[in-house]
Structure 1
Amino acid sequence: MSALTLNPAQLSRLLDEAFQADWESLHSALATVEGQPHPRIGWLTQHLSVTKRGYWQALSEVLPISPVPPELDLDGLCRWEVAAAAALSPEQLETLLTYSGTPMTVGDLLRVNIRHTVWHAGQIAALGRVPRMA
């Protein structure tokens, strides 16, 4: 196993931490939002929901996994993907795909998903601290 290769349990744990760790996660960032939220926060949460669904759609095209249930909100989607990642095999993580014109493995795309979640969690945390007046 190379230094950049993570197993399904490790990727699932990182997805879970990006979603709901006590510090520096999507959940903790959303908890900083008080009063009238900055309009960009709504856009960021919607964007995360759409892109996460896109990641898993791409994965379902190369793996025998079910698509994300359409009724899930962002919270439910994050919980679903933690379980879905944990259920993958190490061999499935090495499956090749092309996402957004870039060849990568399933494991690579899951790491993109994790980075993307944390990136936007930081933006939400920064916006959540900005007081807004109605």
Structure 2
Amino acid sequence: MTTPDALATLLDEANHDPWESVQAALALIDGQPHPRVGWLTTHLRATKHEYWTVIAAATGTPAPPDDAGLTRLMTWEVQAARSLRPEALDVAVAHAGRTFTVAGLLRVNARHTAWHAGQIAALAPTERRA
């Protein structure tokens, strides 16, 4: 069974795990990042904000802070997921022309985050890789 805590942990790992996460990928970058990294982080921030705006509207929970950058938003969303009521996970939401449950959209969020973390890591300078 999926729980708010399990989904929060999934997001926390995609965002902050020391080995495989956005935070870990960004830590590989020393000096001027590849220009694509800026686009990826801006895109991740925008999509995370969009997912949570949809979830907030459907569940009556607080919306994400508009002024949060990616780092702050990644921390905020873990706490927001953990704070969801279990029944909120089954609420239907629409995103990008598809219908999901809140739980399904949070899984999309985690997959999307991991996908782009890998892209960011691939753009890190090769001398920093093991």
Matches within 5 A, 1:25-44: 25-44=21-40
Q: CA separation in 2, counterparts of 1:53 and 1:130? A: 31
User: Counterpart of 1:66 in 2: which secondary structure?
Assistant: coil
Unaligned runs of 5+ in 1: none
Query: What is the Cα deviation at residue 34 of structure 1?
Result: 1.5
Runs of 4+ in 1 over 2 A off after TM superposition: none
Query: What is aligned with 2:41?
Result: 45
- TM-score, normalisation: structure 2: 0.93
Match of residue 95, structure 2, among 79, 96, 99 = 99
CA-atom RMSD in angstroms = 1.1
Mapped partners of 2:40, 2:81: distance in 1: 23
Q: Distance in 1 between matches of 2:64 and 2:85?
A: 18
For residues 31 and 116 of structure 2, the distance between their equivalents in structure 1, rounded to whole angstroms, comes to: 20
Shifted more, 56-65 versus 38-47: the winner is 56-65
Q: How far apart in 2 are the matches of 1:54 and 1:130?
A: 33
C-alpha distance in structure 1 between counterparts of 2:38 and 2:93, whole Å: 31
Please list every run of 5 or more consecutive structure 2 residues that lacks an aligned counterpart in the other structure: none
Report the alpha carbon displacement of residue 130 of structure 1 after superposing the two structures with TM. 4.6
SS of corresponding position for 1:62: helix
Residue number among 59, 62, 68 corresponding to 1:63 in the alignment: 59
Opposite residue 59 of structure 1, the aligned amino acid is I
Are the counterparts in 1 of residues 57 and 63 from structure 2 also a CA contact under 8 Å?
no
Instruction: Decide which of 111, 114, 118 is 1:115's aligned counterpart.
Output: 111
| Counterpart check, 1:81 vs 2:77 | yes
Q: TM-score, length-normalised on structure 1?
A: 0.91
The alpha carbon displacement at 1:129 in A equals 2.6
Q: How far apart, CA to CA, are the structure 1 residues paired with 2:58 and 2:120? A: 32
Q: Which has the larger helix fraction?
A: 2
Match of 1:14 in 2: 10
